[in-house]
Structure 1
Amino acid sequence: MVHTLQNFINGQFVPVMGSDSIEVVNPTNGETVALAPISEQADIAAAMSAAATAFQTWRRTTPRERQSLLLRLADAMEARSAELVEAQHRNTGQVRQMIADEEVAAGADQLRFFAGAARLLEGKSAGEYMDGFTSFVRREPVGVIAQVTPWNYPLLMAVWKIGPALAAGNTVVLKPSDTTPESTLVLADIAKDILPAGVFNVLLGNGATGAAMVEHKIPAMVSITGSVRAGIAVATGAAAGVKRAHLELGGKAPAVVFADADLGKTAQSIAEFSFFNAGQDCTAITRVLVEESAHDELVTALATAAQSLETGNEDESKNYFGPLNNVHHFNAVCKVVENIPEYATVVTGGKRVGDKGFFFEPTVVDGVRQTDDIVQHETFGPVITVQTFRTEEEAVELANDVDFALASSVWTSNHGTAMRVSRDLDFGAVWINTHIMLTAEMPHGGFKQSGYGKDLSMYGVEDYTRIKHVMSALDA
């Protein structure tokens, strides 16, 4: 049954005022599962007004109070895990166990971190930096935050957005991706009995809705996880209103593999980290740079590892990853593989799996060159390329020679090599003999066209605060 979704504003679900809507499609079979109305100016104004009103009270809650509510929200997420999983699976086709483990359980854990972080914000100690005057620093919430989340990890990205913002004392108006809104709406339903009305609001809509949110006069800050194109649009809109922006954008992560690495183990790990979530991850390995003498052995092992990772089975328990998110993205990934240069080789994969849904084989492409589109541009699918290098310096040069700078990894048994290369790689995260592992205590964010600002960690919470200097005369 196809049902029509609603916005969540001021603690309750309300119909969208506009008449236009978007079909939400299950990518495992191409069937429409819901209609997501497109919010218009009146809907946006209502949500922003609710958030602004709630901010006046929420900003004055104590860190202990905010911690308590976020801990309750985390517990409630876990209690309704099955509902969250099914809602998200309808929109993403992701393997259910992956959603349960990597989004619900991980999201609840990260909410608990943010709950604790609410009580640990720091600043300079008070002191007399000028004779006769005492100065101190107040770290305050920014205000209403307009947030936009992507379709690759809908629930987890919602947690990454609202967790630090709410912990710091802000209120939120969040727009999920138009293709994956349902798990965020379940999260809102969970929150309505925990958070005060207006603290967390959800607007449905498309790119135009997100742009209108950014342009609205109320938000003091905008935050997006998405494509570079979308990030540029958000940053441009924010600049027009002199608003702060927090951007977590695309990636083109290299895995730099030296000949002294355990090549069999490395190949299996790279395949798993590359094809996790069908490669729809901005931190996923997309480029394998291997020392020339180890090329043949690694490529053979990579092909074997890729072929061991299944997708498209009716028995979901056998799948390592699910489908690509939507037909437009599926067609785009197909086109990338179809247009590889004639001198490159598809070692394994490269084709659709089955005749329904948007499943695509794990794909390894060898023999590409640094200037090729498949090397320079984000594919965001289960496709990795292989290139060779002769020296450590050449490896770093190839790795850094893209516009993205979010994530990378080094694979070697030599500690000195690992330290030098991790220092020289121009990426926001560098893993050594592993990849894509995230922990709530450590920051996540990139450089260059991968954006700016940090998710997770205390740095992520601080991004949602502003600094005020207060000075008092001692003789007053």
Structure 2
Amino acid sequence: MQTASEIKEFHNLINGSLVPSSCGGKMESIDPSNGKVWARIPCSTAEDAEDAVRAARQAFGGWSELTAMERSSYLRKIGDLISEHAEELARLETMDNGWVIRETSYGLIPSLTSLWHDAAGAASAASRGETVQLGPKSIGYTLREPLGVVVGIIPWNAPLFTFTIKAAYALAAGNSVIIKPSEHASAASLRFGEILNQILPPGVLNVIAGDGEIGTVLVSHRDVNRVSLTGSGNTAKAIVRSTAMAPKPLTFELGGKSPNIVFSDADLEKAAAGVTLNGIFTGNAGQLCVGGSRILIQKPVFEEMVLLMKKAMKEHIKIGDPLNPEATMGPIANEVQFNRICSYLEIGKEEGGEIIAGGRYGGKQVLPDLPMLHEGYWIEPTLIRVNSNSLQICQEEIFGPVAVVMPFDTEEEALRLANDTNYGLGAGVWTSNLDCAHRMARKLESGTVWVNTYRRVGPELPFGGVKESGFGTDSILENTREKTCIIEAG
């Protein structure tokens, strides 16, 4: 256990000031690579949540009255400032949830800079309306207005990315923002808020850590005008109940059970790397909502693909200390999620699934040669062969480095299996047949379809889900409301 002097302390950001919880309560943040306490974060109260809403409401007036160009200037400065703190932020994100430093350093942090710069460029879109000639003397036009106070509830698996998606475009549209990070990974978000506070006026951005109690206060508050959640279906249902008496726009990006479909005419070596490495295992140890956790392979190439997938995993997945630049896969982010994934591994075996790669969990099993990491939350990348899509491990989101592998015969069967789930966030198709690619893209029940690639996103295109994977996006227009004005000339 670290000594008191080695444990970092983080504070809430409310109205431009760094403050502890009003009751003095704190929560411990655990390094998932070794199970040790590395930081303490505020365990905030309803009073703290009220203070954050009050600060955001007071700041909204001045911020919303700025021109789009003025707001854009602030956001562009934030994008520039992030690069100055890139190394620190990457390390904090890795310490928070175990996402390997090579991904947070070379992928995540640069993307944050790009997103803030993109939001700066999009600010003008929030002020554009339309004009309609209703008659010889009548004209109608629309105005776009900011909503007011926007609350962003972000998950533990990608805090800084979801923080940026929810805050940058809401601020660009003229709203003030409150970010509530997961109690399992708040440190990087609290520090990020502190850095952004160097640029933004007080109260325009507030960051408050705590458990579900403060989340309920925030989402149900009558002075909160929009709620955006990236998280679980259960949290979404709780938000719907909490906002019933004070309705407001809601955006939910929830779970996924995404299919990655490999046809026999695909480039199999490219597909094997795509469905295993980028598709699930090196994406924060499979802890991504869009992870391709159902790998469907056409029967003529099934055995060959399995061998190629195992080869790609053996050659390119290096499990180890997430702060080691050579590690490509780190630990599970927290003990609760570790236990959940382990239970699914046992369920899979009980259901008749055949583990064809991996399957071990626990520090000593997975990392016998690294005794300094025996106490962390470690699970091997695991492939489970199944013959029925009705199994629990095929229908429920595991959210970890576990994928089921299933054969199929025809394109029609692939579509049936792919769509046979309550989720619809992402889907992958691997084929050299352009007609097949277009047919699959149209018929897959998914917010995003990737063909011969996976998990590629950018601000130029929307990202969201269908079915129980949620609805809406965090685009700049969803952070505004349209007002209609009609003028009759004398």
TM-score normalized with structure 2 length = 0.93
Q: Distance in 1 between matches of 2:91 and 2:392?
A: 37
* 2:307 corresponds to: 300
Q: Distance in 1 between matches of 2:262 and 2:376?
A: 34
* 2:286 corresponds to: 279
Match of 1:84 among 86, 89, 92: 89
| 1:400 maps onto 2:419 in alignment | yes
Q: Do the aligned residues in 2 keep the contact of 1:145 with 1:170 (CA within 8 Å)?
A: yes
* 1:145 corresponds to: 150
Which digits, 9 at most, give the CA deviation of each residue in 1:271-326, with x for residues without a partner? 11211210010111100111111111111211222233111258823311211100
Which digits, 9 at most, give the CA deviation of each residue in 1:323-347, with x for residues without a partner? 1100111111111111214532101
Q: Alignment partner of 1:279: what SS?
A: coil
* 2:295 corresponds to: 288
Could you say if the C-alpha distance between residues 235 and 315 of structure 1 is closer, same or farther in structure 2, counting changes exceeding 3 Å? Answer: closer
Which digits, 9 at most, give the CA deviation of each residue in 1:192-226, with x for residues without a partner? 12111110000110122211211122101111101
Structure 1 residue 125 displacement after superposition: 2.9
Comparing 268-277 with 194-203, which one deviates more in the overlay? 268-277
Q: Which amino acid aligns with 2:486?
A: M
| 1:189 maps onto 2:194 in alignment | yes
* 1:327 corresponds to: 335
Could you say if the C-alpha distance between residues 183 and 313 of structure 1 is closer, same or farther in structure 2, counting changes exceeding 3 Å? Answer: closer
* 1:227 corresponds to: 232
Which digits, 9 at most, give the CA deviation of each residue in 1:242-270, with x for residues without a partner? 11111111011101111111112211111
Could you say if the C-alpha distance between residues 277 and 314 of structure 1 is closer, same or farther in structure 2, counting changes exceeding 3 Å? Answer: closer
Q: Do the aligned residues in 2 keep the contact of 1:343 with 1:368 (CA within 8 Å)?
A: no
| 1:466 maps onto 2:481 in alignment | yes
Structure 1 residue 123 displacement after superposition: 5.3
Q: Do the aligned residues in 1 keep the contact of 2:98 with 2:284 (CA within 8 Å)?
A: no
| 1:318 maps onto 2:326 in alignment | yes
Q: Do the aligned residues in 2 keep the contact of 1:222 with 1:238 (CA within 8 Å)?
A: no
Q: Which amino acid aligns with 1:377?
A: E
Q: Alignment partner of 2:432: what SS?
A: coil
* 1:347 corresponds to: 356
What is the RMSD of the two structures over their aligned residues, measured on CA atoms?
1.5
TM-score normalized with structure 1 length = 0.96
- Report 1:25-40 matches (<5 A): 25-40=30-45
Q: Distance in 1 between matches of 2:431 and 2:115?
A: 31
Q: Alignment partner of 1:103: what SS?
A: helix
Could you say if the C-alpha distance between residues 95 and 334 of structure 1 is closer, same or farther in structure 2, counting changes exceeding 3 Å? Answer: same
* 1:48 corresponds to: 53
Q: Do the aligned residues in 1 keep the contact of 2:320 with 2:330 (CA within 8 Å)?
A: yes
Q: Distance in 2 between matches of 1:329 and 1:104?
A: 25
Could you say if the C-alpha distance between residues 368 and 32 of structure 1 is closer, same or farther in structure 2, counting changes exceeding 3 Å? Answer: farther
Q: Do the aligned residues in 1 keep the contact of 2:125 with 2:476 (CA within 8 Å)?
A: no
Q: Distance in 1 between matches of 2:117 and 2:264?
A: 41
Where does structure 2 lack aligned partners over 5 or more consecutive residues? 1-5, 368-373
* 2:371 corresponds to: none
Which digits, 9 at most, give the CA deviation of each residue in 1:2-29, with x for residues without a partner? 2442110011101211243321101011
Structure 1 residue 434 displacement after superposition: 0.6
Q: Which amino acid aligns with 1:322?
A: G
Structure 1 ranges of 4+ moved more than 4 A: none
Q: Do the aligned residues in 2 keep the contact of 1:307 with 1:362 (CA within 8 Å)?
A: no
